[in-house]
Structure 1
Amino acid sequence: MLFTRFKSEIEALGTNTLTSIDNRLDLVEEVSALWAAAAVNNLDIVKLLIERGNANINHLIKTHSTALRAAYFQNNLEMVRYLVEHGANPHQSKKGNYTNLMLSACRQYPSMVDYLVNKVKCDNNAQDENGQTALYHAVRSGSVEITKFLLEHVAMNIRDNKRKVTPLMRAALFGEISLVDTFKYYCTDLEWTEAKELLAASFSGCVSQSFVLLQDRRECETPEQLNQLICPNKKDALRIESLLIHQRIIDHDHSDYHDVIHHYGARLANEHKYHECFRCWFYEFDLKIKYNMIFQSDFLNHFIFLFAKMKFNNKLTIPIEDLLQMFKITNHVLMSDYYRENFDANLIILLHLITIVGRIIHSEYLDEKQELSLNNYRDFYNSIASITSHQYRTIETGSSLLHLCTNASTESISFLNDYPCWITTRLLIGCGANVNVFDSDGNTPSHNLVKNIPMTNVLKKINLLYNADAHLDYINNKGQTPLQSMPLLHIKIIEHLKKNMDVIRLKCCCAKLIRQQKFSYENIFSTALVGFIR
């Protein structure tokens, strides 16, 4: 009806929401009716659009997928043959050079792989933008059948440029015995030997509890040396051996090697071996810095959560050097452009670290405090003072660390105080934080403190800011002082603020008047005066 009566535009493009290869809902843009029909596996509509509507069979959607690729995705061989017979290009790849053969191997479609190799004569060794071949995708999918088929049809064991491993090495790293065995007659003796070593190492737990021992250990060179490690009381020695194998074959700059270290650290944490866990993760961090590798956004959070759990739940002492090391790490991350996307989240993590240190130094509870030397105090204050001197601000709201720790909406973590936190505020002020700094809305920490504030220790927190020379008459972008921006029901707090504002400087009155009356002043006064008026 749409064809005959309404003369609909056959090549009109739209946007669809479809289930992707990993079962997520994805927006698919610049989609034609033909592509949509193939994507929902409707051969009758595909035929109608081509035979009655003369649809463009090789139309590329935004990702350069075609109707033929959609048919491959649905594993509809009849539709694939029909489209190819009517002129569809079987060699068109998706953006990133992701070929139809890679797709079929990844989806575990043996008949489709057979068709593409034997009928279409696809290049078995074509590489996508990450250097990964159809063989690699077959191994990743876990398909022994397709892996064996591709090897029999001259697929090569090529090292990719993303993970820096071959398909065989990947199978070994993930402990896939059947997949590894499939390669036995299709690789060199050296590749086979290293694959077996990696396969064995993948079952061992891999990482020692003490990385210091690595400096004095070398791999076993004889069967006798290795057999000496295979006994119940030498598990750590066997783990070191496994780690050395990983280092030799896939090297220090390999993400899989780092994953091994990180997961073992997590296992140590689950066993409450926190000190060993930190050694593990600091070692991983040093490697990432050395080889310019980016770590996941939750990496720092793992440290902070364990610090808090260790100290405030399990009542254990946190090594001072570990806390100081974390200040260096977080400072490095915040100064690096690599992590700009997660800057605000990482700044919150730094705030949590400062809160932990604040409770160790200033807590009212003896079981939270730790015995610190004068050097420890100096190191902590120097670390935090260095951070406050950078004047870090959140990208979203322009909030400083002092804004964050005086704001009731700042997210806390398990075992830590909620915010506002007077201990953190006290420590930041003692380390030089500016109590009159503005965020993007013109609010000072004092404004933050009195908005939606819980009543616990509120006067103590206000006095802390006031005694550090916080100006309680500063106005925000709405022309409000902290007193004017707080809910009227907090009568006691309002009276306290009024009392502290009784004595006020004349220059403050003048600046307030200029701001409230919206007088023009930027081009009249000096830079210092303009800053003061603001």
Structure 2
Amino acid sequence: MSFQSSAINDEELVHYAVRYGHIISLEVYLNQNPKCINKLYTYGQSKWTPLLAACFYKHEHIVRMLLTRFKPEIEALGTITLHSIDNRLDLAEEVSSLWTATAVNHFGIVKLLIEHGNANINHLIKTHSTALRAACYHNNLEMVKYLIEHGADPHQSKKGNYTNLMLSAGRRYPIIVNYLVNELKCNINERDENGQTALYYAVRSGSLEITKFLLENGAINIRDDKRKVTPLMRAALFGEINLVEAFKDYSTDIEWIEAKELLATSFSGCISRIENLSRTIEYLNEAFELRLTKNLPKQIITEPLELFHYRHECETIEELNQLLSSNTRDSLRIEAILIHQRLLGNDQSDYHDVIYHYGVNLAYNRQYHECFRWWFYEIDLKQKYNSIIQTDHLNHFISLFVQMKFNDHIDIPIEDLLQLFKIMNYVLISNHYRESFDVNLITLLHLITIISRIIYSENLDEKQELSIDYYRDLYKSMRSIIRHQYKTKTTGLSFLHLCTSSLTENIPFSIDYPCWMTTRLLIDCNADVNALDLNGNTPLHTLVQNISSSNVLKTIDLLCNAGVHLDYVNKDGQTPLQLVPSFRIKIIERLKKKMDVICLKCCCARLIRQQQFSYQNILSTSLIDFVRKH
């Protein structure tokens, strides 16, 4: 009897049978189509043979049937999707059936594939993960031992030199860690591509048990290459007192003293984790006493900065006591920052984070001007050392400008606006920020909108008196931005498209679009009012489709006065007028009125298109482009 299925195609049929464990349906189909046993089927992002799919869906009876009744290619490779640690879908490529079975933690199928299929136990997937690594990931000691007994290589690491020991330490699996170290003799001080060891992973995971075990078995407190901190320093930075104490008998005198100093800073409140100033004072005093006892004075080589009011770090316990007699909280925070600078260095992200979060504290207390000084210092450091400037940090500038000007009615320092202009331009032209280009472009648009409201707003609370020099500098910066002709990567929207649209995402409070003031400023700085997006829409096309009626008529007038073409057609052959909803009577009337003064050149171009005259080989390139837009 022939296997029939009129409702679904063969690919769906095979997948359905395997997914739901319909062994008879699958067997009948494969008997009729034996060549399909090794066919690579596509289902969503997955690519697999029937055997691979059966392993993924944990159907041991189907795997057994395929191995005994047919001759599937055990080492056929495919692609599967798995849930990662943070519950995202990860694509695993070049996976074998055995690796898939271990990845879904099915010991029965693993045994079948090895004992009845002679599967390659050391197959490497695209990332060089092995079946043994997948077993370690699931904390399955029984499976790990089985794989080792059948020839698994315990020393094979994933790309980036991420060992099974690092994985197990990071996932807080003490039994697996013990087995890998004591039974398999894995190198406890192996370093990954960032110079981090299993001890670092244990500390990062917060596992006191594994941290102690590794230290007792010879783990070294090695400074990594990425963050330039040791596992002990990392524990101290995050205020992990118990983890720090675990290192007491396994660190040098200077390592222990500096750990106490970093532990003190973690409780100072200069970062947004914890604040306990009594602990800060306690650990700073301990560190000074140890320095005195061990004769290890501080080695301070950094020059005092104006930003810190030329303060230097306390070098004796007497200086610390004198400091504590002043404004304790702020004094201790500055002290903590200076300690970070000495121990971590100006080029490290941990130090940059401390600088940024201190600025956040200043902003919270409405010390806006001081906040900007610290934030710009952090960005200067990131630019100097080629570190990535966080998109969120740039957005926070905008939010604070909005808070200052439109909520608290405080004038924004023009120097800060100009400085942010330079930073945004740097970010937009840099290849390091390609993935966040559109988000950063929107941030720059918000900055332009704030400036436009300072200049043009009819609300006196928003306007700001500017000197001629400031006007000149602002317009110079704006024109420099406009000359780059920035457009969003995804849709090709210019600034004029964006400010005439109904932007709703990531908009700071008190900024609304469409915005006639932003439109005016862009036009005054020579923005192209006839710029086209990827769908051939001009800013006027974008504007008239807005649901909001706020400022639309005023913005239409601005665009028309600046020379926008009302008869340009988009890729669907529609003019702006044709896109206006029928109930938007005022907008239709305004556009029709403006259409009465369309120039002769436009009429000719539209007539050529309507009459389908041949013009490609007659007109110049610029005129051909002009005609096509009508």
Instruction: Give the structure 2 partner of residue 202 of structure 1.
Output: 266
Equivalent residue in structure 1 for 2:405, among 311, 314, 329 = 311
Deviation at 1:520, TM superposition (A): 5.5
Contact preservation (8 Å) 1:479, 1:515: no
Equivalent residue in structure 2 for 1:256, among 345, 350, 360 = 350
Q: Does 1:127 align with 2:191?
A: yes
Deviation by residue 1:402-452 (Cα, 9 ceiling, x = unmatched):
111112246461323322111111111112212122222222111111124
Deviation at 1:110, TM superposition (A): 1.7
Instruction: Give the structure 1 partner of residue 141 of structure 2.
Output: 77
Instruction: Give the structure 2 partner of residue 418 of structure 1.
Output: 512
* Aligned residue runs from structure 1 range 17-416, under 5 A: 17-206=81-270, 212-214=306-308, 216-231=310-325, 233-409=327-503, 411=505, 413-416=507-510
Q: Distance in 1 between matches of 2:85 and 2:548?
A: 48
Deviation by residue 1:480-523 (Cα, 9 ceiling, x = unmatched):
32223323333332232222222332222222234455655455
Q: Distance in 2 between matches of 1:21 and 1:462?
A: 51
Q: Distance in 2 between matches of 1:180 and 1:252?
A: 24
Matched residue of 2:534: which SS? coil
Deviation by residue 1:256-300 (Cα, 9 ceiling, x = unmatched):
001111222223323333222222211111111111111222221
User: Which protein has greater RCO, CA pairs closer than 8 Å, 6+ apart?
Assistant: 1
Q: Distance in 2 between matches of 1:221 and 1:290?
A: 28
Amino acid at match of 1:52: H
Matched residue of 2:263: which SS? helix
User: Could you tell which deviates more after superposition, 192-201 or 514-523?
Assistant: 514-523
Deviation at 1:318, TM superposition (A): 1.9
Q: Distance in 1 between matches of 2:195 and 2:543?
A: 53
Instruction: Give the structure 1 partner of residue 604 of structure 2.
Output: 510
Deviation at 1:127, TM superposition (A): 1.1
Specify whether residues 304 and 512 from structure 1 end up closer, same or farther in structure 2 by C-alpha distance, changes over 3 A only.
Answer: same
Q: Distance in 2 between matches of 1:409 and 1:216?
A: 45
Matched residue of 1:30: which SS? strand
Q: Distance in 2 between matches of 1:268 and 1:189?
A: 36
User: Could you tell which deviates more after superposition, 127-136 or 502-511?
Assistant: 502-511
Deviation at 1:348, TM superposition (A): 0.9
User: Could you tell which deviates more after superposition, 382-391 or 491-500?
Assistant: 491-500
Specify whether residues 236 and 455 from structure 1 end up closer, same or farther in structure 2 by C-alpha distance, changes over 3 A only.
Answer: closer
Contact preservation (8 Å) 1:313, 1:415: no
Contact preservation (8 Å) 2:262, 2:340: yes
Matched residue of 1:185: which SS? helix
Contact preservation (8 Å) 2:399, 2:508: yes
Deviation by residue 1:107-136 (Cα, 9 ceiling, x = unmatched):
112221121112111111111111111111
Specify whether residues 284 and 213 from structure 1 end up closer, same or farther in structure 2 by C-alpha distance, changes over 3 A only.
Answer: closer
Contact preservation (8 Å) 1:479, 1:516: no
Q: Distance in 2 between matches of 1:55 and 1:332?
A: 53
Contact preservation (8 Å) 1:399, 1:440: yes
Contact preservation (8 Å) 1:411, 1:419: no
Q: Does 1:483 align with 2:577?
A: yes
Deviation by residue 1:178-232 (Cα, 9 ceiling, x = unmatched):
222222222222222222221212222348xx97353622222221111212246
Q: Distance in 2 between matches of 1:308 and 1:262?
A: 19
Contact preservation (8 Å) 2:398, 2:508: no
Deviation at 1:320, TM superposition (A): 2.0
Instruction: Give the structure 2 partner of residue 437 of structure 1.
Output: 531
Q: Does 1:499 align with 2:586?
A: no
Specify whether residues 70 and 323 from structure 1 end up closer, same or farther in structure 2 by C-alpha distance, changes over 3 A only.
Answer: same
TM-score in terms of structure 1 length: 0.93
Specify whether residues 24 and 463 from structure 1 end up closer, same or farther in structure 2 by C-alpha distance, changes over 3 A only.
Answer: closer
Amino acid at match of 1:282: F
Instruction: Give the structure 2 partner of residue 470 of structure 1.
Output: 564
Q: Distance in 1 between matches of 2:568 and 2:453?
A: 30
Matched residue of 1:198: which SS? helix
User: Could you tell which deviates more after superposition, 236-245 or 426-435?
Assistant: 236-245
Q: Distance in 2 between matches of 1:487 and 1:356?
A: 30
Equivalent residue in structure 1 for 2:551, among 457, 472, 478 = 457
Q: Distance in 2 between matches of 1:19 and 1:390?
A: 42
Q: Which structure 1 residue ranges, 5 or more long, are not aligned? A: none
What's the RMSD between the two structures over aligned residues?
2.2
Aligned length: 532
TM-score in terms of structure 2 length: 0.80
Q: Distance in 2 between matches of 1:33 and 1:427?
A: 62
Contact preservation (8 Å) 1:412, 1:418: no
Q: Distance in 2 between matches of 1:310 and 1:140?
A: 38
Q: Distance in 2 between matches of 1:421 and 1:460?
A: 9
Contact preservation (8 Å) 1:177, 1:199: yes
Q: Distance in 2 between matches of 1:7 and 1:518?
A: 65
Contact preservation (8 Å) 1:14, 1:30: yes
Contact preservation (8 Å) 2:514, 2:550: no
Matched residue of 1:3: which SS? helix
Q: Distance in 1 between matches of 2:613 and 2:246?
A: 80
